[in-house]
Chains A and B, each alone.
Chain A
Amino acid sequence: MATDDTADLIDKAAANLGLTIAPEWKPNVQMFFEVARGMARMIESTNAVTAAEAAPVFTPRSSE
């Protein structure tokens, strides 16, 4: 995704989430989002998406 698209995504996501981002915060927000995207690409390059049960398995509790 190109940088311009990221800026657009952030604007639209902020509107959807009800977040107000001051203009001077945007470069940092965009930078952090791009860092996260790079991290996600690393994970997606493994076989994690299909190969494993997600870690937070829910265990129902009983009073018995």
Chain B
Amino acid sequence: MSTLHSFASARTIANAVLRGETSAEEITRAALDRVAEQDGAIGAFTDITAERALEEAKAVDRARAAGAALGPLAGVPYAVKNLYGVTGLATRAGSKINAADPPAHADALLVSRMKAAGAVLLGALNMGEYAYDFTGENAHYGPSRNPLDPTRMTGGSSGGSAAAVAAGFVPVSLGSDTNGSIRVPAAFCGLYGLKPTYGRLPRTGTFPFCDSLDHLGPFARSVEDLALTYDALQGHDASDPVCARRPVQKTSPEIAKGGDGLRIAVAGGYFRNDAEPGALAALDWAAKTVGAVDEIDVPQVAEARAAAFLITNAEGSALHLERLRKRPADFDPDTRDRFIAGAMIPASWYVSAQRFRRIFESTMAELFERYDIILAPSAPCRAPKLGQKTIVLGGREVPLRANMGIYTQPISFVGLPVAAVPVRESDELPYGIQVIAKPWHEHHCLRIAAVLEKASAARG
């Protein structure tokens, strides 16, 4: 067994491998053992790539023995949401239908970049079907269970990505976020997550959901590991027409700079209306910690959420129309009926939503002339119980699935970068905070996330 404990950070593992204190193979075997022993109770993985993982680990060890330079994630185990292409695996995207597809003949680009950085792929992770989900439940593969309390949801749709990190199977994982699918699970599982600016990370080789809103990003248990992973993922790729021609902006050197010079506001109004008192207390703690005094009322947030809903519904349904025609009974019932309804949306609704996106982009740009960071809740509540269908928000009982993303949807709608930060008191389940910055300023998000992380540790 590796001498490193199961919750060792990616940085610690990479340093230990680099110094020869342990081998990548030893780390990998220990991680595979943990998954084999414990994942039956969690449901994070749908596919385990043990043979590949050991080959990748041995390659890292051979490189070290030969004196070659090692990547920044040398020997670090990780896993990916099962909508990422992984050579030799069918790209399930959480579905039964895609599980019968031919195996991917190539890795998704971000998987290739993780490999180039020395990371070791343990497998593919559970998710809500076709990413149309905020719960982490799945009718075909069972739910991913929250490692902090296995009777509760991980959140979704990147449920397995959060569960694998929170359970200590891997220090980092990759997920996707169209309307909140990194930020909500990060909140429920007590993790850090990064949804970069729309167009920052290439989606090449991943199964889409909604092209206009799809983002990829990492999960980690620390801001340092989040930045380390994100830095390994950056870089333009022309095969994704949305990917921006931006230079790589390393964030690891930035995170220790603190919040000095950053103007920070707290989102009020819409963002306070339906949250549980605990979620608001977490937001207030974060605001006080980073010295945010101004509370701003962002105009037309409800309309932004509505537009994101329509674009997602229309694009996702168009993507799956042929599957809805041929195999509707093979969909998860929790996604099928929404997709069918979305297939019937008039084009004028969709185009109006896309036009409103331009208006809301301008609204947020004006706010970011006055502030560098805006804080908001990630979710209105803590992790709900598995199987729960409704939740009381603002004194009203509302459908749970539709309302877990009320605070995340308006932000990803205009592609702003967000660090998801957990806030937890003692043994209580965590709440989550969104640290939102202007486009292409992920380093600002991570600087403030690091300030909050340090303050959380001091709070105990």
**Do A17 and B307 touch across chains, with their CB atoms under 8 A apart?**
no
Quick one: given A13-B344, A17-B321, are A54 and B351 in contact (CB under 8 Å)? yes
**Do B354 and A36 touch across chains, with their CB atoms under 8 A apart?**
no
Chain A nearest CB, measured from B397 CB (Å): 15
CB < 8 Å: which of B336, B344, B355 contacts A25? B336
Interface positions of A from 20 to 43, Cβ below 8 Å from B:
20-22, 25, 28-33, 35-40, 42-43
Q: B328: which A residues are within 8 A, CB to CB? A: 19-22, 25
Tell me if B338 is interfacial: C-beta within 8 Å of chain A: yes
**Do B212 and A55 touch across chains, with their CB atoms under 8 A apart?**
yes
For B333-355 the 0/1 string (1 means CB < 8 A from A) is: 10011101111111011011111
Q: How far, in whole Å, are A17 and B226 apart by their CA atoms in the complex?
A: 44
Q: How far, in whole Å, are A46 and B305 apart by their CA atoms in the complex?
A: 13
Among residues of B, the one whose C-beta sits closest to the C-beta of A63 is B238
Chain A nearest CB, measured from B246 CB (Å): 15
Tell me if B313 is interfacial: C-beta within 8 Å of chain A: yes
Tell me if B302 is interfacial: C-beta within 8 Å of chain A: yes
Q: How far, in whole Å, are A29 and B354 apart by their CA atoms in the complex?
A: 23
Tell me if A51 is interfacial: C-beta within 8 Å of chain B: yes
CB < 8 Å: which of A9, A19, A43, A56 contacts B306? A43
Q: What is the size, in residues, of chain A's interface with B at 8 Å between Cβ atoms?
A: 39
Q: Chain B's interface: helix, strand, loop or mixed, by majority?
A: helix
Among residues of B, the one whose C-beta sits closest to the C-beta of A53 is B358
Q: B310: which A residues are within 8 A, CB to CB? A: 36, 39-40, 43
Q: A55: which B residues are within 8 A, CB to CB? A: 212, 354-355, 357-358, 361
Quick one: given A19-B328, A53-B358, A54-B358, are A43 and B340 in contact (CB under 8 Å)? no
Tell me if B281 is interfacial: C-beta within 8 Å of chain A: no
Q: A59: which B residues are within 8 A, CB to CB? A: 241
Q: B352: which A residues are within 8 A, CB to CB? A: 40, 43-44, 48-49
Among residues of B, the one whose C-beta sits closest to the C-beta of A16 is B344
**Do A29 and B337 touch across chains, with their CB atoms under 8 A apart?**
yes
Interface positions of B from 279 to 320, Cβ below 8 Å from A:
300, 302-303, 306-307, 309-310, 313
CB < 8 Å: which of B309, B329, B348 contacts A36? B309
**Do A49 and B309 touch across chains, with their CB atoms under 8 A apart?**
no
**Do A51 and B359 touch across chains, with their CB atoms under 8 A apart?**
yes
Which interface residue of A9, A37, A40 has the most chain B CB atoms within 10 A? A40
Q: A47: which B residues are within 8 A, CB to CB? A: 359
Residue pairs across A and B with CB atoms within 8 Å: the count is: 123
Which interface residue of B212, B333, B341, B348 has the most chain A CB atoms within 10 A? B341
**Do A56 and B324 touch across chains, with their CB atoms under 8 A apart?**
no
Tell me if B8 is interfacial: C-beta within 8 Å of chain A: no
Tell me if B368 is interfacial: C-beta within 8 Å of chain A: no
Q: How far, in whole Å, are A28 and B342 apart by their CA atoms in the complex?
A: 12
Chain B nearest CB, measured from A10 CB (Å): 6
What class of interface size applies to chain B in its complex with A? 35 or more
**Do B358 and A32 touch across chains, with their CB atoms under 8 A apart?**
no
**Do A46 and B356 touch across chains, with their CB atoms under 8 A apart?**
yes
Q: Chain A's interface: helix, strand, loop or mixed, by majority?
A: helix
Quick one: given A40-B349, A55-B212, A61-B241, are A17 and B355 in contact (CB under 8 Å)? no
Q: B341: which A residues are within 8 A, CB to CB? A: 10, 28-33, 35-36
Which interface residue of B336, B344, B357, B358 has the most chain A CB atoms within 10 A? B344
Q: How far, in whole Å, are A51 and B361 apart by their CA atoms in the complex?
A: 13
Tell me if A2 is interfacial: C-beta within 8 Å of chain B: no
**Do A43 and B353 touch across chains, with their CB atoms under 8 A apart?**
yes
Q: A20: which B residues are within 8 A, CB to CB? A: 325, 328
Which interface residue of A31, A36, A56 has the most chain B CB atoms within 10 A? A36
Interface positions of B from 203 to 233, Cβ below 8 Å from A:
212
Q: A35: which B residues are within 8 A, CB to CB? A: 309, 341, 402
**Do A19 and B303 touch across chains, with their CB atoms under 8 A apart?**
no
Quick one: given A32-B338, A43-B349, A43-B353, are A52 and B343 in contact (CB under 8 Å)? no
**Do A48 and B344 touch across chains, with their CB atoms under 8 A apart?**
no
Which interface residue of A20, A39, A49, A55 has the most chain B CB atoms within 10 A? A55
Q: How far, in whole Å, are A13 and B343 apart by their CA atoms in the complex?
A: 9
Quick one: given A25-B337, A28-B337, are A19 and B358 in contact (CB under 8 Å)? no
Among residues of A, the one whose C-beta sits closest to the C-beta of B338 is A32
Q: A40-B310, A42-B302 are in contact. List 8 more A-B contacts (CB 8 A).
A: A14-B344, A22-B328, A22-B329, A35-B309, A40-B346, A42-B306, A48-B356, A54-B354
Residues of B within 8 A of A (CB): 212, 238, 241, 300, 302-303, 306-307, 309-310, 313, 321, 324-325, 328-329, 333, 336-338, 340-346, 348-349, 351-359, 361, 402
Residues of A within 8 A of B (CB): 9-10, 13-14, 17-22, 25, 28-33, 35-40, 42-49, 51-56, 59, 61
